[in-house]
Amino acid sequence: MKATLLLATVLTALAAPTQAQTTAATPAAARVPADQIATSQGPLTVQPITHGSVVLSWSGKTLYIDPYGGAAAYAGLAAPDMVLITDIHPDHLDLKTLGGLSLAKALLLVPQAVADKLPAEYRSRARVLSNGQQLDTLGVRVAAIPMYNLPATPEARHPKGRGNGYVLTLGGKNVYLSGDTEATPEMRALKGIDVAFVCMNLPYTMDVQQAAQGVLAFKPGIVYPYHYRGENGLSDVAAFRKTVTAANKKIDVRLRNWYSAAK
C-alpha cells in the first residue's frame, strides 16, 4: 500500500509542472497559424493576434501593431523592434498589455494623441508621426495615413487627424493597416497596396459593404478583414469576401480568426 501511495505521489508531482505549462501556453497555442508572403528580401510573416492586433516579422525585425488583449497572447514571439499604435482607444493603446511586453529595444511610432497618453518610461522611445508624414527606420518605410469616421466632424468617435492608419514598405511590398476608419477618400486613393488589413465593425468604423467598396476602390493584392468585433458581435466577413471576389477575383481575401488567442 505504501509503495502504491508513493508511486501516486511521484506521478502527481511530475504531472503538475506539465499542467502549469499547458495552462500558461494556452493563449499562444490558440493563435491561428501565421501566413508567409514573399518579398524581395525574404518572407514577411503575418501573425494574427486579436481584434486590431497583428505581428509582422521580416528580415530579422519584428513589428507589433496595436498590441492588445494581454501579454500572454504574445508568448513565444520575438520581442518587438517596432510598435505601431493607431489611436487612443484601449483596444489600440492598451497600457496593461504594453506593460507586460519586453519593449527594451522597441521604437514606438504613434500619433500625437497617443504620445500624450504614454507613461513616462515609453516617451523617450516614442516617435510621433502625423497624418501625411513618413519615416524610414530599420529598413522599413512607415507612412501615416488619415483614419477617421464619415462625415468628418470633431464629434466623431474617430475625428480626422487624431489617429493614424499606416502603410509599411518593406522588401518591395506595401502593407496597409487601416486602424479605425471608414472608406475615406484617402483609403480609396491608395495605390500599389500588396497587403491590406481592413476594419469593419459598427458602430465604430464601417459596415461590411462599405469596407468591401473601399477595398474594391484601391485593389490590394491580399486583404485580411480584421478588427471586426462590433457592438452586436462579429461582422459577417464571409459576406465581405463574397462581395469583393464577385467584383474582383484578383483580390485574395484571407479570412482568419482574430478572436481565438486573446479576449
> Three-state DSSP class for 163?
strand
3-state helix, strand and coil shares in percent for the chain, rounded to the nearest 5:
25, 25, 45
**pLDDT on residue 262:** 45
**Structural domain boundaries in the chain:** 35-253
User: Measured between alpha carbons, how far is 257 from 49 in angstroms, rounded to an integer?
Assistant: 9
Q: Which grid coordinates are listed for 197?
A: 488589413
Residue 15 has pLDDT above 80, yes or no: no
Q: Which grid coordinates are listed for 33?
A: 497559424
Q: Higher pLDDT residue, 215 or 11?
A: 215
* Model pTM score: 0.88
Residue 64 has pLDDT above 90, yes or no: yes
Residues sharing a CB contact under 8 Å with residue 173, sequence separation 6 or more, in sequence order: 37, 39, 40, 44, 194, 195
The vertex-84 CA angle with 238 and 241, nearest 5°, equals 10
> Three-state DSSP class for 76?
coil
* Mean residue pLDDT across the chain: 90
Specify the range with the lowest mean pLDDT, choosing from 3-7, 86-90, 119-123.
3-7
Q: What is the pLDDT of residues 193-218, one digit of tens each?
A: 999 999 999 999 999 999 999 999 99
Q: What is the pLDDT of residues 174-198, one digit of tens each?
A: 999 999 999 999 999 999 999 999 9
Supply the CATH classification number for the domain 35-253: 3.60.15.10
Percent pLDDT > 90 in the chain is 84
How many CA atoms lie less than 13 Å away from 131 in the CB half-sphere? 17
**pLDDT on residue 27:** 66
Specify the range with the lowest mean pLDDT, choosing from 1-15, 222-236, 247-261.
1-15
